[in-house]
Amino acid sequence: TQLLEQSPQFLSIQEGENLTVYCNSSSVFSSLQWYRQEPGEGPVLLVTVVTGGEVKKLKRLTFQFGDARKDSSLHITAAQPGDTGLYLCAGAGGTSYGKLTFGQGTILTVHP
Amino acid sequence: GAGVSQSPRYKVAKRGQDVALRCDPISGHVSLFWYQQALGQGPEFLTYFQNEAQLDKSGLPSDRFFAERPEGSVSTLKIQRTQQEDSAVYLCASSPGTSGLFQFFGPGTRLTVL
């Protein structure tokens, strides 16, 4: 069984601060996806990383896939209140069709 | 529509009732996934369809859960004789290809079993 440990579970910061969310596993994943979910809505895909060591930047968000494809991180620079939400990492592995294993999520609150 | 839609958005059922949850994927998407999300948790995989074929149903919690996608488009998740532990948000996701690399989620159906 593949498991993804996501940390921290809760993060409360002030506007303008930087933060990093971690996603770790003992299993190798063929790809890893990051989602953001708001209350009452489904997860929204932020990025997919597929290559070990890959780094992708999306405005103030930086995503990294570990060299061994077992871990990933999401770094947000100069957080804004609009970044508030639940961040989920999800790994695909063990099947050819992308069955996802999700972490338990990080609830981020950015205070103005 | 432009995205994945699900109906109903909210469903309250009495224990023992049967429920049916509908998913309309993005037009032309080959792959369709169902996930279950308990309060405060990440989603958990239930089942996967490639067109009309159900290729993986390993995540369905019991034989009370049944899913179908008869024409390779709309999918229905049916839960028979609902129990309180079935209370959760049921999410549907579709993906354009068969790799599942880009999964687009619907808003979910929140099921509450009393």
Locate the chain B residue with the closest alpha carbon to A89.
Answer: B42
- Give, for A101, the enclosing helix (H) or strand (E): strand A100-102
Residues A60-84: tens digit of each pLDDT: 999 999 999 999 999 999 999 999 9
B81 DSSP 8-state letter:
S
d(CA B56, CA B48): 5
* Average pLDDT score over residue span B18-28: 97
Q: Can you state the percent helix, strand and coil of chain B, rounding each to 5?
A: 5, 50, 50
Residue B35 at interface with chain A, using a CB cutoff of 8 Å: yes
- Burial classification of residue A46, based on how many CB atoms lie within 10 Å of its CB (0-12 exposed, 13-18 middle, 19 or more buried): middle
d(CA A71, CA A106): 15
Would the pLDDT of B40 be above 90?
A: no
Would the pLDDT of B69 be above 70?
A: yes
Distance separating the N- and C-terminal Cα atoms of chain A: 41
Of B4, B95, B107, the CB nearest to A98: B95
Please answer yes or no on whether B33 and A100 come within 8 Å at the CB atom: yes
Which of A99, A101, A104, A106 to substitute to test the interface with B, most B CBs within 10 Å?
A: A99
CA-based nearest residue to B69, from B78, B79, B60: B78
Instruction: Using a pLDDT cut of 90, give the percent of chain B over it.
Output: 90
Q: Provide the pLDDT for residue A83.
A: 96
For residue B91 the two structure tokens come to 């999410």
User: Across the 112 residues of chain A, what is the mean pLDDT of every consecutive 10-residue run?
Assistant: 89 97 94 93 94 95 95 97 96 84 96 96
Q: Provide the pLDDT for residue B1.
A: 54
d(CA B108, CA A26): 30
Please answer yes or no on whether A99 and B103 come within 8 Å at the CB atom: no
Of A43, A98, A105, the CB nearest to B100: A98
What is the b/e burial string over B45-79, where b = at least 16 CB atoms within 10 angstroms of the residue's CB? Answer: bbbbbbeeebbbeebbeeeebbbebeeebebebeb
d(CA A74, CA A72): 7
Of B31, B35, B43, the CB nearest to A97: B31
